[in-house]
Structure 1
């Protein structure tokens, strides 16, 4: 169905993205394509879809792939029918039914007499039964856009489907419907996703990096097990090499000290023996050369071991290289931070956001998830909790506290600033420049990164910079609000975020459809809105 051999891609600026890509996709195979941000996952999907040309290599396929991208902005000016590429068929069908039986209409329809029925069925399957095919894509929510293109699979009935982060904007019910589709479809699938529940419905994991693809013959849990085995072996190798380096340095020190003692004793004996000056000088030069030779041999040995150790450490996951040093909220556990009684909110259209008024209380130290379907008012509730909106009904009490709101785009990062300038915005305790740069290094921003503009950062880099800024602030916020924080992160950066959040001891409010993430950050209770 699909064969890729020795494929490579180089950016227009001559930067190599990846090379030596080899992959075979057989009928009914369901493949997860994973890799760090910037590895080229989306680029590879676009090459398979025919949107980009590879720099080198061979790509053979006997079918037309159906590609669902991660970003839909390029379709905003189109109608739903045109974005799904069914507008001409539908127009031809209606013209034929109205008596215009031209050859052009028959060619456009291509005997696809069930196209309208399939459209209706497919849209109903994704709860889009009230959608008008003439509606512009720009009028739809992110979740609706995703559902439209997922419905397109049933409409077009392709043999090979390429999906780039398909669950990003879906609420939990829609995600579960997507999981069922993946389980039951006869299509071959290649899916880029950080949704670990979704990845466990696939039967092969392909990990992409610049040097090629490593194939793991199982689902995501199997992949993690294999990676853990490798990680344990790497940790043992590092520990063994650290012991060897310590032993080599101790041996070097002992040998040099022993030699220095022997030289001092010999020098003392020479002075007592009353030998001619030329003989003493010759002996002294010989002793110095011998000491230098010994020092050089030991230095070379320790240098080689140190280099090997550094190389081994370079294979560590990013999270293992980072040092968080995350501060905690200064509030005592259990202090009331927000109280609401019978609240509701309207955006001026005489329609309230929630079917029933809400009553709730949030206390310091809690870990709370706010759950609801798309459009149920989760973000509205967050804005009320933070004091940015006032409800039209009910009573709220919001005692003074320090809070920070982190959305999926990490919008607190100012794109007009450099990385270093951004950290200075949070440097309320007047840390010295070198101390700020030490913190940046802890979050994997090296000297080469400090003057980069924030606008060039990936989702994962923006997340790490945001966490770095919070660690630099004089005191961590009392409340951290995360609004779909994992949407634009790869799995590695989700693990970094998870590890950091688990070190934080303040109050946590989270909106997320990523059930695995919610489990791993130890959510204590759920506030449901509808």
Structure 2
């Protein structure tokens, strides 16, 4: 079905992204591909799909894969039929039915007489009945674009399907349709996803890292348990290596002290016995050479242990050190921050919500904003922020600091590098070394500080955003997160979860990731 042997990929700037990646996918396999942001998962899918070229290695695919990408902007100027690559077949079928039975039309149709029926069935399954194949992709929401490409699986009926974060833009209904489809399809699947509900449906997990691909024989929960065992063993190795390093340094100190005592005793003995000065110098040089050799032997041993320890530590997950660090005493629980009375909003004289909204938000609330795609979640957020005014009803909007973090972390300025970006949040005039200490805490080492923000992965943007918030002098009283896990790998979701759970201010979250919502202890909800 699919065999990769020693696949390597190099960026245009000659930086190597990954080397010698090998994997095998058999018929009817339903496989997850997980790994940290930036390791090259999406790139590998594009290579398998034939969109990008590997630097080296062999790729064998028994049939043309069907690829559902993570981003759809490149299709905005196409119709739905063109994006799905069925426009020629549809047009040829229509011409034939009109009586224009040419060799060209028959060749383009390729005996696919049921293409229209499959389109209708697929669109019906994914709740896209109101879409026309000639409609422009740019007119669709992110969720609708995802569903269009998912519908393409049913239309093309491929043997191998590649899915890159397929649940990102889907609402709860869309996600459930996706889960049911994955369970029932006979196609082979290779899926990159951070959606743990989806990952638990799959029967095999592959972990991609800088060292290659590791195979785990079960779903995500099985993989997670195995990783815990591995990390515990790694922690024990680190502790064992730290102990060995302490012993080696202690042994070096004891040996040098013993040698110094022997040399001192020998010198006194030689002075008493009246050894000639030239002989004394020779003996002293021998003693110094002997001490130097002892130091070199111990230094080599200590250096080797220290190198091993550095490698082991670099493999450990780094989650606990990344925290907001806000002054929680500034938050006064129970204070009314926002109040809505009979509010609604309209587009082209049509109200967005069937019933007017009534609710209030108190300091310390942890509130989920739910609703299907197009239900007005973003509009309501803008009203809460004071960027839009309701067409009817009244709002009470207290003067308070609110931070809105969307799924692209667009508060970050793509024209700046990492260090320059942190300075834009430095309203308390922190010293340069303090800024750099915080960057290190959020896993941005010295060689990252000049990296442009536009080159950062989703997880790196999230970590930089968290770092910037800790640098800002004034703690935000409200943090609004709009689909915060969409572009994050599982490790970065865990980092974000740990940071959010430390925050005691008001939290408003839009998310379809049920497991994430449970882990951040959301208490209230508004359903649109």
Name the TM-score, length of structure 2 as normaliser.
0.93
Q: Is the Cα contact below 8 Å between 1:344 and 1:354 reproduced in 2? A: no
Structure 1 residues 291 and 52: CA distance shift in structure 2, 3 A: closer
Q: Is residue 378 from structure 1 mapped to residue 381 from structure 2 by the alignment?
A: no
Deviation at 1:340, TM superposition (A): 2.2
Deviation at 1:191, TM superposition (A): 1.0
Segment of structure 1 superposing worse, 281-290 or 429-438:
281-290
| Cα displacement string for residues 197-237 of structure 1 (whole angstroms, at most 9, x for unaligned residues) | 11111111122234432221111111111111111110000
Distance in 2 between the 1:98 and 1:280 partners? 113
Q: Is the Cα contact below 8 Å between 1:333 and 1:363 reproduced in 2? A: no
Segment of structure 1 superposing worse, 469-478 or 102-111:
102-111
Segment of structure 1 superposing worse, 465-474 or 298-307:
298-307
Q: Which residue of 2 aligns with 1:245?
A: 245
Name the TM-score, length of structure 1 as normaliser.
0.93
Segment of structure 1 superposing worse, 36-45 or 305-314:
36-45
Deviation at 1:96, TM superposition (A): 2.2
Distance in 2 between the 1:167 and 1:99 partners? 43
| Cα displacement string for residues 307-360 of structure 1 (whole angstroms, at most 9, x for unaligned residues) | 21112112122436x444622344345232424243323244222222222222
Aligned length: 528
Q: Is residue 204 from structure 1 mapped to residue 204 from structure 2 by the alignment?
A: yes
SS of residue in 1 equivalent to 2:36: coil
Distance in 1 between the 2:3 and 2:276 partners? 84
Distance in 2 between the 1:405 and 1:371 partners? 17
Segment of structure 1 superposing worse, 133-142 or 77-86:
77-86
Segment of structure 1 superposing worse, 280-289 or 412-421:
280-289
Deviation at 1:50, TM superposition (A): 2.0
Q: Which residue of 2 aligns with 1:301?
A: 301
Q: Which residue of 2 aligns with 1:85?
A: 85
Q: Is the Cα contact below 8 Å between 1:342 and 1:393 reproduced in 2? A: no
| Cα displacement string for residues 175-197 of structure 1 (whole angstroms, at most 9, x for unaligned residues) | 01100000011111111111111
Deviation at 1:468, TM superposition (A): 1.1
Q: Which runs of 5+ in 2 are unaligned?
A: none
Q: Is the Cα contact below 8 Å between 1:337 and 1:401 reproduced in 2? A: no
Distance in 2 between the 1:24 and 1:426 partners? 47
Deviation at 1:280, TM superposition (A): 5.8
SS of residue in 2 equivalent to 1:408: coil
Deviation at 1:399, TM superposition (A): 2.3
RMSD in angstroms over aligned alpha carbons?
A: 2.4
Q: Is the Cα contact below 8 Å between 2:322 and 2:499 reproduced in 1? A: no
Distance in 2 between the 1:341 and 1:433 partners? 43
| Cα displacement string for residues 49-77 of structure 1 (whole angstroms, at most 9, x for unaligned residues) | 22223332222223221111111112111
Q: Is the Cα contact below 8 Å between 1:2 and 1:61 reproduced in 2? A: yes
Q: Is residue 492 from structure 1 mapped to residue 491 from structure 2 by the alignment?
A: yes
1:447-458 to 2 correspondences below 5 Å: 447-458=446-457
Segment of structure 1 superposing worse, 19-28 or 509-518:
19-28
Deviation at 1:273, TM superposition (A): 7.5
Q: Is the Cα contact below 8 Å between 1:89 and 1:108 reproduced in 2? A: yes
Q: Which residue of 1 aligns with 2:181?
A: 181
Q: Is residue 480 from structure 1 mapped to residue 474 from structure 2 by the alignment?
A: no
| Cα displacement string for residues 348-401 of structure 1 (whole angstroms, at most 9, x for unaligned residues) | 422222222222222222322111111112122222222222223333223222
Q: Which residue of 1 aligns with 2:131?
A: 131
Q: Is the Cα contact below 8 Å between 1:329 and 1:477 reproduced in 2? A: no
Q: Is the Cα contact below 8 Å between 1:338 and 1:396 reproduced in 2? A: no
Q: Which residue of 2 aligns with 1:421?
A: 420
Q: Which residue of 1 aligns with 2:344?
A: 345
SS of residue in 1 equivalent to 2:9: strand
Q: Is the Cα contact below 8 Å between 1:338 and 1:399 reproduced in 2? A: yes
Q: Which residue of 2 aligns with 1:219?
A: 219
SS of residue in 1 equivalent to 2:181: helix
Distance in 1 between the 2:302 and 2:109 partners? 75
Deviation at 1:16, TM superposition (A): 2.7
Distance in 2 between the 1:438 and 1:120 partners? 57
Q: Which residue of 1 aligns with 2:19?
A: 19
Q: Which residue of 2 aligns with 1:74?
A: 74
Q: Is the Cα contact below 8 Å between 1:328 and 1:505 reproduced in 2? A: no
Distance in 2 between the 1:269 and 1:311 partners? 48
1:271-420 to 2 correspondences below 5 Å: 284-319=284-319, 322-324=321-323, 326-420=325-419
Segment of structure 1 superposing worse, 406-415 or 280-289:
280-289
